[in-house]
Chains A and B, each alone.
Chain A
Amino acid sequence: MHHFYSGLIILLCTATFLLGFSATSVAVGFGLEADSTDSTAISDDHPNLQPYETSYNAAQHILALPSYLFYWTTRPIGWGVQYAETRFPYLFEGERGDYGILPFFESGSKVRFAAGALMFHQHVFRPNHEARVQFLYGTDNYRDIKAQYRIPVSQQHNSELVFSGEYEKNPKHRFFIDDDRLFYSAEDAAVQVRYNSTFSSRVRMQNFVNYTNNTARTSSSELPDDPLTFPESLKGNYEILTFGNQFAFDFRQGEMRTVSGTQLIAGADMATSLKNSTSYFRYHLEAHQFIPVPFLPETRRFGIRGKLIKSELLSGDEIPFFDLPNLGGSADLRGFRSNRFRGKGSLIFSAEYRYPMWDVLDVTLFMDQGQVFNNFSDIGMDNFESSYGFGVHILTAKGLAFRAEMAFSTEATRYILSITPTF
């Protein structure tokens, strides 16, 4: 049986091969190509009365069949693009237009996959007053809606006041107790007012006030007889008011790509529960360093990130679990599921080698090392979890537009699609 099929395949391959070359001979032989109608002058007609024509013989059509099929398969895509080009021209201009809608999707973040759209208008009500509305719908009935309104502050160059709000519902939010994965249903609403100011091209400051309303309930995916369930003590409604401040010292070089230099970010915020006496303080320190590879163009560079987050309880029983620093997900320990590790503090180091695949495409090879801890004394070299992977970054003049990465760890292999940069 195998011999028959092997023989048939070899025969067909040989036949196709010969047919291919023969088709060439036929084409030339019958004057179907690269031949002229000069020779038709043997008839009564002057050759200038005989038009040229492209024609193909049967053998050539047979050999071109796969390309014909492919062509007609892709035409509906073309009709769709043409329709979109006519009706929604801004779709093709990114954010260059004054307003528009952009589709986007995420994977490897809070849920396996989510897709949605970003609507924007650069001049709502007044020039340069920008509004954005973004919505995502994902697996497990995940929903997320964000709205933002930015007002430039005319007295201060590059300063702006930003009002934003978000509603997120995740019926299957992950929660880990040691190595066991549980789920709870999360419903969060947040309102924020932020003031971004730029002191110089190198120093930026951000002040914000944030109100959040978070509810944790039993997830519908939790089975009644499951011995391990989301702790009752964590369920309930939380209302938290947060004030914060952040400074960034940016000494990075490069326009589309950051090719060298350092960025330091330091921030702190204070959160108070509006339902009980709990209050806590949180601070973070982050450093990014970019180093071009010697002897090569500076677009080949190493990027290193270190980030520390620590929270301290000031009063009350404990910090709400969802506000604790955590690791895992598309932004830090990429080979682990989101919220995989949670503690009062987190420490993450990432190293990436980035090099251009093309004008607006970078290839990245990365490794992340991170751990969570409750006290600084808990930090130990043996406690680091590691993940590694590779990916492709799509860039715009403003930086990252989209990244697709594949990350590996001892627990999972994860596919990440995101519009949010790591660092």
Chain B
Amino acid sequence: MSSKPSKKFILLQDRFNPIFYSVLLILLVTVLAGGCSSSKPYATGPVKTFDPDTTRIPMPSSKEQFQYWDRIDNTTFHQIGKVLDLNRVFRFLGKPIGLASPREADNINKLDEVPESSWYTYRHYHNPMTREELARGPNTAEPDTSGPWTIFQAKLEGAMSGFFFEDASGERFLAKFDGPEYPGLMSSVEVIGSRIFHAAGYTVPEAAVAYFNPDQVLIRPGVEVEDNGEMRPMTMDDYRSIISGQSPYDDGTIRVFASKFVDGRPLGPWRFRGTYRDDPNDRVDHEHRRELRGMRVISSWVNDTDRRDANSMFVYNHDGYIDHYVQDFGNILGANGHSIHRPIQGQAYLIDPRFMLLNTVSFGTYVPLWETIDGSYEFPQVGYFRADVFKPGRWVPTHPNPAFENMTLRDAFWGAKIVMNFSDEDIRTMVETGLIYDERAVDYLVETLIQRRDMIGRYWFKRINPLDRFEATYQDERLQISFSDLYIEGNLNIPESHRYQYQIETIDGEFLADGVTDDPFIELTFPEHLLSRNTHQIVKVELYTLRNYEHSGDQKIDVYFEIGQNHTRLVGIDRET
């Protein structure tokens, strides 16, 4: 039995069809547009090594620093906003079923590297630094203690009080003091952190530990301090209250952390999200910058828990563009400002809905790791800094950091290889710049950093094929390809444990060689006639690492070389994740 459709239903059908077809059309266009386009995985011209974000611009206005809003926004609103961004949701849902891939960084070249820019400079990984360079870090001048220091600005903020001074040479510094309960801690980690981040490639302010004569300090006339909400001239009593918690050494000097004023005009903090509208050079969303995403791994190494907007700085330099500083390393290693880190720091956010939900629904029967850890420490000069409870893949800063949240496996590999590039001796060199007076504490800190470094290498290099530094030479029809296995170079396993399976062909699909090699070196015949048609030929090398004679998660690397009569060069790296 059939019934005649009502007039209303017919009308509905009429209304339904245009919507249906419109959506279908949009879908078809979108899918086709996506499917039809492609880009080459290698550079046909020079490989990009520099991102030109250094064009002279008018000085932008300064930005205020909002310590609390920064935390509130990233902890709450940004977290909710992420769920409402359907791009992100679909990537999350599509990844397990192979329909979507993680959103990779926007500023990476064909070699999967970050070109230099106002954010990042090739340093230790790309151009190995000497011990002296590592120890010197960003410093061009140390505070001159031969004459009096003149305070030209001060802040009285209880335990965090400090002052700005001009030394005998006329250089300007910020002076910060250690917490009375942990002498030497904050000042040492500030300096060590500046050396590590500088060597990693970031722009950091100059930093040094200095010992000064407290009686050789003057206050410049006109310097004012805030007292109960009102400004008044600074007195020597104010100065003495600032240094009151500091115990003088036998020679009467007091230890201080001194950070030299940067060259240029500080304009406030930059954010780990979005771009700075007033800076036309700033074109890449900060959360999609590789050097900021990959910083998560470097920060995890040194337990840099306070890596957030407020601890960064835009500086309008003398060349008329903005330098992007990373600063404030007082919350790394075992220090948490004037105090020490707690076990939870690095393991969970200050407010972490993931664990809050778990705790609540388990009625307290779920016990997070940090609740089982004793927060005690062996050396007051080191504070709470351990390797045995470190989880490289789960490390988080105290406040959510949008760039860190966007880190992909490729970003993590980039960060991990920078960390793994620091040798034991490099680490000791940088730690010694902190002038920690207890030699056993230095040894402990060095050893802990070495252990954490290796844990980072083991964790991330197992999740992605850790081959890098590819090179090729071509002579007399012999093509030699070499590369580094960062896992083996990092002494994370014996060389015999890794072998390399390869297949080599021209970009036109002409087979050249395949096989398995015990060493990171391949030699093959490359007939000259392949170059007769063109001045150069692109060769694709497909590489697997066989760990203990097995595929490591079938992660492949495609490496592209341009082979010419008189030259060879690396033109592309495509890492499978």
Contact = CB atoms under 8 A, between A and B. Distances in A.
Nearest to B360: A357
A41 B39 CA distance: 13
B87 interface: yes
Contact of A29 (B35, B43, B344): B35
Interface residues of A, number: 74
B64 A86 contact: yes
A228 B81 CA distance: 55
Contacts of A48: 46, 48-52, 115
Contact of A296 (B106, B228, B364): B364
A15 interface: yes
Interface in B345-366: 350-352, 355-356, 359-360, 363-365
A30 B283 contact: no
A199 interface: no
B43 A81 contact: no
B84 interface: yes
A52 B364 CA distance: 49
Contacts of B360: 357, 363
Interface stretch (B72-80, B163-171, B203-211, B528-536): B72-80
A59 B355 CA distance: 34
Contacts of B101: 24, 28
B66 interface: yes
B454 to A, nearest CB: 29
Contact of B85 (A11, A42, A66, A78): A66
B132 interface: no
Given A19-B27, A35-B39, A98-B228, A24 B94 contact: yes
Given A1-B12, A34-B103, A52-B51, A355 B45 contact: no
B39 A356 contact: no
B108 interface: yes
Contacts of A353: 363-364
B367 A296 contact: yes
Contacts of B47: 38, 47
A420 interface: no
A92 B52 contact: no
Given A24-B100, A28-B101, A66 B43 contact: no
Contact of B48 (A7, A20, A30, A47): A47
A25 B93 CA distance: 15
Contact of B26 (A19, A77, A357): A19
B351 A358 contact: yes
A287 B148 CA distance: 63
Interface in A45-101: 46-54, 59-60, 63-64, 66-67, 69-71, 74, 77-78, 81-82, 85-86, 92, 98-99
A299 B8 CA distance: 64
Contacts of A64: 85-87
Given A24-B101, A38-B109, A92 B91 contact: no
B567 to A, nearest CB: 16
A4 B16 contact: yes
Contacts of A11: 19-20, 23
Contacts of A26: 30, 33-34, 37
Given A36-B110, A293-B364, A363-B360, A20 B89 contact: yes
Contacts of B356: 357-358, 361
A62 to B, nearest CB: 8
A314 to B, nearest CB: 48
Contact of B106 (A23, A34, A98): A34
A154 interface: no
Given A50-B52, A52-B107, A70 B84 contact: yes
B68 interface: yes
Contacts of B30: 18-19, 22-23, 26, 59
Contact of A355 (B27, B108, B359): B359
B85 A359 contact: no
A74 B364 contact: no
B364 A20 contact: no
A39 interface: yes
B84 A66 contact: yes
Interface in B95-127: 99-101, 103-110, 115
B86 A39 contact: no
A48 B53 CA distance: 10
B281 interface: yes
A47 B351 contact: no
A173 interface: no
Given A22-B31, A24-B90, A24-B100, A47 B284 contact: no
Contact of B33 (A29, A37, A74, A299): A29
A296 B48 contact: no
A41 B288 contact: no
A122 to B, nearest CB: 11
B287 to A, nearest CB: 9
A52 B119 CA distance: 13
B84 A82 contact: no
Given A34-B105, A48-B50, A21 B100 contact: yes
A17 interface: yes
A153 interface: no
A16 interface: yes
Contact of B284 (A53, A74, A299, A357): A53
Contacts of A15: 23, 26-27
Give the top 7 A-B pairs by smallest Cβ distance, nearest first.
A41-B45, A20-B90, A355-B364, A34-B104, A25-B34, A29-B37, A38-B43
22 contacts: A8-B19, A16-B86, A19-B26, A20-B100, A22-B34, A23-B34, A25-B34, A26-B30, A38-B109, A39-B40, A47-B109, A48-B50, A51-B281, A52-B284, A53-B284, A54-B285, A54-B288, A59-B30, A67-B84, A98-B228, A296-B364, A297-B372
Given A15-B27, A22-B30, A300-B365, 10 more contacts: A16-B86, A22-B31, A23-B90, A34-B105, A39-B110, A41-B45, A51-B281, A78-B77, A355-B363, A358-B352
